[in-house]
Structure 1
């Protein structure tokens, strides 16, 4: 059921990014349920497990484009604008960019190891491969929290309106295209 979303940030630029986080979290919940089912061995047989694993691959594959579009917007527009005020060589922006790479690594690792024929894998192998998707989920959740509680409020405190207005225009594109 849809609930009215409450934004933590005050300015339009970070509200765009925060709204994207909410959409990405919605998509993540769809595939994370499958990860949890494997972690808790909730499948009655291998046929069900293979079908679930195939669905996990499809959902993660569909998740990649909006995630990539979101992180590209942050790296191309948001981080450079904020770095004019707080720097980029160390501190929160550098840490957040490293997390982008870590998330890509976990998802890439999942796809690399699961590229074979599902009929060849045991249940334990399928379960083990889902751990990378689970790690990506955990890093993403913490990543969103850091951005929303550290970076976004920082924008409200330090950025000038004259720099926020063009940033809003740069961030206005959809991540689902």
Structure 2
């Protein structure tokens, strides 16, 4: 594996996905700071409501980018790797389940923080933000699993021709 530019993978397709993980992690760090703010003692209700709306906007923006990344994996990468390792069990099944879990946490957060959030108590605010925190945790572990299990597997197993075709399909922007 190559360490050029701080990336660990040598094949272009895996480098594209790895680089997207770096960008998504950066974005996550920005909104996760707001999640952590809600863990403080004695937060004000008015400031909590403002921060919740800021967090909501940040997550809605983040979801657009995350969805583009996830679609690339699910439409191009997973089907190709699945031809080599199968789909029903093993790492691809778990990774795809995590995609659904992440969507669930983010969807739940967005659903429960709409217009009615202006009526929330401090405890309601904290409870709503927990879903965003869970999404952050699952995403963080998810990226590690992909980068330590799935991406190395792909670099080893995919034929040179499949790696080249995959790279051309993945070489699109997520922003």
TM-score range, shorter chain: over 0.9
Q: CA deviation at 1:116?
A: 2.7
Q: Which runs of 5+ in 2 are unaligned?
A: none
Question: Residues 1-177 of structure 1: matches in 2 within 5 Å?
Answer: 5-41=5-41, 43=43, 45-176=44-175
SS of aligned partner of 2:173: coil
User: How far apart, CA to CA, are the structure 1 residues paired with 2:5 and 2:37?
Assistant: 28
Within 1, Cα distance between the matches of 2:103 and 2:40? 25
Equivalences, count: 172
| Aligned-partner Cα distance in 1 for 2:42–2:51 | 10
For 2:107 and 2:39, the matched residues in 1 are separated by 20
Change (3 A) 1:8 1:35: same
Worse overlay, 84-93 or 130-139: 84-93
Deviation at 1:157, TM superposition (A): 1.3
> Following the alignment from structure 2 to structure 1, what is the Cα–Cα distance between the partners of residues 117 and 154?
46
Distance 1:37 1:82 in 2: 40
| CA distance, structure 2, for counterparts of residue 133 and residue 118 of structure 1 | 15
Question: Structure 1 CA distance, aligned partners of 2:108 and 2:36?
Answer: 18
TM normalised by structure 2 equals 0.94
Distance in 1 between residues matched to 2:66 and 2:42, nearest whole Å: 28
Partner of 2:15, secondary structure, is: helix
Q: Give the CA deviation at 1:40.
A: 2.5
Distance (whole Å) between structure 1 residues aligned to residue 139 and residue 99 of structure 2 = 9
